């Protein structure tokens, strides 16, 4: 599925079958739906009765002999009651239907959210999160708009036109009905045609608006870079360039809207004029009363008030259908990693991990692993090393079953991980990733995320074992310190410590340490390595490492190169073999010896303001 952009939307044709797909959500509260429709009918009947009451008031007041006090007062009271009823039952309709629309939005949003979490990692890596969020937001808003306007604007307007046509046919000559229906038809055709024509201007205006906003946000997010190079004026010029495009597009949009409104006003004025001429002639001939003329005029005005918004409603409904279809398109995206029906839980007893002749690629033209085989005994520690792009992190992703292998098999305690459900598999594995991403929440929340429901004492103990307690004690808000978007207010080292504490709280039988100490200074690294060594001593551990000095205690070391196992053995044996591992070791020792020592360096991390 492509990354969504704002310009994608107007080019798509709406799928009107989407309306049918929303019926199941309406039927969850079918009683409310039918009650809302009943209130709608009562409101419209009251509304179309108002001109009739107005007719009788005018006729009584026009005839002095009939102008008794009681009759006009009763008619005026009825007129006011009818007007109030039209508004009151309309409000009741909205109040009753509100739960239906909000629940439909909730149900669909939850379905999409759950489905997105079921999709494989590859889907999310190829998408922009912002695009997904916009698809969901626009889709749910589209559902609300579609339900409300289809049921409470289009349907009521059609009902009102029908009622008015029946009343006019019963009370007057067929010419009035023909004039009303013909004028409504011309009005609708004109509004739809012009709306389609001006869609390109709306699209251009939205596109320019998105571009200018994107430019502004991108510049502000890179505030430091702008300042480093003194490019404030350059950024302002680029921003103004996009604003100029937006200004021109908005002018076209406004002029086209003026054309639409003027054309609609011409149709209304022509229709009302024709009806008034017909009615006036019949009043002069004595076939109609003055009240009848007032009633006809009131009906025409009453009919065209909702129709006046037809261009807007049609365009928005059209857009809502496209937005809903895009969101439903996410639901149609099939997950590539699926559990077998009734797949059992993983019975993790010890946590022996075995890869058998595993081959994998992210695509036909991007093969990563080639016939990789190894075994990690329960409680053992395997280190995986190799140059960048060798496939080290891919092994961790496959063990987590973010992807399924192309061939071969991965098993835990003799169970193929494809035969068990994914939730139980991931419950048994903990990870400290190379690039730790935190929620924009407190330190306490981010640690507690490792095991929701853990006690306060357990959370604080996990922080202590990850050597976070001293750091947290120095913070004014302590555990309640908010770490910022993606943890950007916390230094890399402290993010890594929080990730370690989160993993310690989860307490899984299998650990994956993916460059777990890559962001730590030497002193902190040694402290964390001691804690990890203590924790991993009774767990099966896969340590993916770039710094070879961090995996000297591994029981077995696997050396990957171009997705193949080229060497394996203990640290001592691999050095003696004088192969790839020995060369990597030599390079790292030379780099370490050449690195200058900063005596003023402060290893303590701080929260950035």
Instruction: Give the pLDDT confidence of 136-186 residue by residue, as tens digits.
Output: 777 777 787 777 777 667 777 778 778 888 888 887 778 888 888 888 888
Query: pTM for this structure?
Result: 0.64
CATH of residue 219: 1.20.1560.10
State the virtual CA torsion across 235, 241, 247, 248 in degrees, nearest 10: -170
Element (H, E) at 412: strand 407-412
β-partners of residue 384 are 544, 558
CA atoms within 13 A of residue 579's CA, in its CB half-sphere: 17
Q: Is residue 341 part of a domain?
A: no
Q: Is residue 238 part of a domain?
A: yes
Tokens 């906003």 appear where?
A: 213
Burial 530-567 (b: 16+ CB within 10 A, else e): ebbeebbeebbbbbbbbebbbbeebebbbbbbebebeb
Instruction: Give the pLDDT confidence of 490-534 residue by residue, as tens digits.
Output: 777 788 888 888 888 888 889 888 876 665 666 666 666 776 776
Q: Is residue 564 part of a domain?
A: yes
CA atoms within 13 A of residue 134's CA, in its CB half-sphere: 14
* Gyration radius from the chain CA atoms: 36
- Helix boundaries (H) for 544-609: 571-577, 580-594
Tokens 């609609």 appear where?
A: 264
Same domain, 309 and 362: no
Same domain, 436 and 519: yes
* Domains in the chain, number: 2
Confidence of residue 72 (pLDDT cuts 50, 70, 90): low
Using alpha carbons, list the distances in angstroms from residue 481 to 54, 180, 459.
67, 67, 15
First to last CA, the chain: 39
Q: Is residue 609 part of a domain?
A: no
Q: Is residue 340 part of a domain?
A: no
Give residue 64's pLDDT.
59
- As a residue count, the chain comes to 609
Q: Are 494 and 468 in contact (CB under 8 A)?
A: yes
Q: Is residue 327 part of a domain?
A: yes
Instruction: Give the pLDDT confidence of 14-57 residue by residue, as tens digits.
Output: 566 777 777 777 777 888 888 888 888 888 888 888 888 888 87
CATH of residue 505: 3.40.50.300
Cα–Cα dist 93/85, whole Å: 12
Same domain, 323 and 366: no
The predicted model gives 235-246 an average pLDDT of 87
Q: Is residue 602 part of a domain?
A: no
DSSP-derived 3-state class of residue 94 = helix
Same domain, 16 and 129: yes
What one-character-per-residue DSSP string does 151-173 give? IIIIHHHHHHHHHHHHHHHHHS-
Instruction: Give the pLDDT confidence of 451-489 residue by residue, as tens digits.
Output: 888 899 999 988 888 878 888 888 888 888 888 766 677
Same domain, 272 and 407: no
Instruction: Give the pLDDT confidence of 183-226 residue by residue, as tens digits.
Output: 888 888 888 888 778 777 777 777 787 778 777 877 887 877 88
Tell which wins on pLDDT, 464 or 10: 464
Same domain, 105 and 169: yes
Same domain, 278 and 402: no
Pick from 276, 299, 331: which residue ends a domain?
331
Same domain, 321 and 407: no
Strands 353-363 and 366-376: antiparallel
pLDDT of 260 > 70? The answer is: yes
Q: Is residue 604 part of a domain?
A: no
Q: Are 446 and 498 in contact (CB under 8 A)?
A: yes
pLDDT of 235 > 90? The answer is: no
Same domain, 190 and 327: yes
Residue 294 structural domain:
6-331
Same domain, 370 and 320: no
Same domain, 310 and 396: no
Give residue 353's pLDDT.
93
Same domain, 451 and 546: yes
pLDDT > 70 fraction of the chain, expressed in percent and rounded: 85
């Amino acid at each position: 599925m492509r990354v969504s952009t704002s310009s994608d939307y107007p080019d798509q044709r709406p799928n009107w079958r989407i309306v049918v797909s929303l019926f199941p959500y309406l039927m969850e509260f079918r009683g409310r739906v039918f009650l809302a429709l009943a209130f709608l009918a009562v409101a419209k009947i009251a509304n179309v009765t108002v001109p009739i009451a107005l007719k009788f008031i005018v006729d009584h007041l026009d005839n002095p002999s009939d102008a008794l006090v009681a009759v006009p007062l009763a008619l005026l009271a009825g007129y006011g009651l009818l007007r109030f009823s039209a508004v009151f039952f309309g409000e009741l309709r909205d109040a009753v239907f509100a739960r239906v629309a909000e629940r439909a939005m909730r149900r669909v949003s939850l379905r999409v959210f759950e489905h997105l979490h079921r999709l494989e990692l590859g889907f999310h890596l190829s998408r922009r999160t912002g695009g997904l969020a916009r698809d969901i937001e626009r889709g749910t808003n589209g559902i609300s708009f579609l339900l409300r306007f289809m049921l409470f604007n289009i349907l009521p307007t059609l009902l009102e036109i029908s009622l008015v046509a029946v009343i006019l046919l019963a009370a007057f000559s067929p010419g009035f009905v023909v004039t009303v229906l013909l004028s409504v038809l011309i009005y609708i055709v004109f509004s739809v045609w012009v709306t389609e024509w001006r869609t390109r201007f709306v699209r251009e205006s939205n596109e320019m608006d998105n571009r200018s906003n994107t430019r502004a946000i991108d510049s502000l997010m890179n505030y430091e870079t702008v300042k480093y190079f003194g490019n404030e004026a350059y950024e302002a010029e680029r921003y103004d360039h996009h604003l100029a495009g937006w200004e021109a597009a908005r002018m076209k949009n406004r002029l086209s809207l003026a054309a639409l409104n003027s054309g609609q006003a011409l149709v209304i004025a022509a229709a009302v004029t024709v009806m008034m001429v017909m009615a006036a002639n019949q009043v002069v001939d004595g076939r109609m009363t003055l009240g009848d003329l007032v009633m006809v005029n009131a009906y025409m005005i009453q009919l065209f008030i909702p129709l006046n918004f037809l261009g807007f409603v049609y365009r928005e409904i059209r857009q809502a259908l496209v937005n809903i279809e895009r969101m439903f398109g996410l639901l149609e995206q099939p997950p590539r990693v699926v559990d077998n029906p009734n797949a059992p839980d993983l019975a993790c007893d010890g946590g022996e991990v075995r890869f058998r002749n595993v081959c994998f690629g992210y695509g036909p033209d991007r093969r990563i692993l080639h016939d990789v085989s190894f075994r990690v005994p329960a409680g053992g520690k395997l280190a995986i090393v190799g140059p960048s792009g060798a496939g080290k992190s891919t092994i961790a992703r496959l063990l987590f079953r973010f992807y399924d292998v192309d061939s071969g098999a991965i098993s835990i305690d003799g169970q193929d991980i494809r035969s068990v459900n994914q939730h139980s598999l991931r419950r048994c594995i903990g990870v400290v990733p190379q690039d730790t991403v935190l929620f924009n929440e407190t330190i306490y929340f981010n640690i507690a995320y490792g095991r929701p429901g853990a006690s306060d004492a357990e959370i604080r103990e996990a922080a202590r074992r990850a050597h976070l307690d001293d750091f947290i004690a120095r913070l004014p808000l302590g555990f309640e310190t908010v770490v910022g978007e993606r943890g950007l207010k916390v230094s890399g080292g402290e993010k890594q410590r929080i990730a370690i504490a989160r993993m310690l709280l989860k307490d899984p039988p299998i650990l994956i340490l993916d460059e777990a100490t890559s962001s730590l200074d030497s002193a902190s690294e040694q402290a964390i390595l001691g804690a990890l060594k203590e924790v991993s001593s009774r767990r099966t551990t896969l340590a993916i490492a770039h710094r070879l000095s961090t995996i000297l205690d591994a029981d077995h070391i696997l050396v990957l190169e171009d997705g193949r196992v080229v060497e394996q053995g203990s640290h001592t044996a691999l050095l003696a073999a004088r192969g790839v591992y020995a060369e990597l070791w030599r390079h790292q020792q030379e780099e370490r010896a050449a690195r200058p020592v900063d005596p003023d360096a402060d290893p303590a991390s701080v929260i950035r303001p």
